[in-house]
Amino acid sequence: MRKRWLIYALLAVVAACLLSLLVYNLPPVHSRLAWRVDSAQAQIYYYFNPPQDVVFIPQEQQIEAIVQATLQALPTLTMSAHRLHRSLRQPRQEHRPHPRHRPPPL
């Protein structure tokens, strides 16, 4: 008798789990609960695998290379800006639209 009761209890638990999965996959239920399930999964994952502290320590050689590349690019940028400024000072030609073709009246 006791063994039969245990089998029924296990079957009830399995049936409840399957029913809850079926209900969860219904679109209205899924749209309301999906973000909560994702949040719980993320919290569990980061509890067991916490992210490491990342400390940025720049290397002196990298800074020098970046500064030199910036200084080399600066004259070309100023020359391009000078050409742009000079082209903006020139008067623009007035653009006249072409006459539209109209179909003949019926």
Cβ partners under 8 Å of residue 33, min gap 6: 24
Give the pLDDT of residue 52: 83
For tokens 């970046």, the residue is 66
User: pLDDT tens-digit profile of 37-52?
Assistant: 999 999 999 999 888 8
Q: SS3 of 78, please?
A: helix
User: pLDDT tens-digit profile of 51-78?
Assistant: 887 777 766 667 778 888 887 776 655 5
Question: What are the angstrom distances between the C-alpha of 92 and each of 70, 77, 83, 88?
Answer: 34, 24, 16, 8
pTM strictly above 0.75 = no
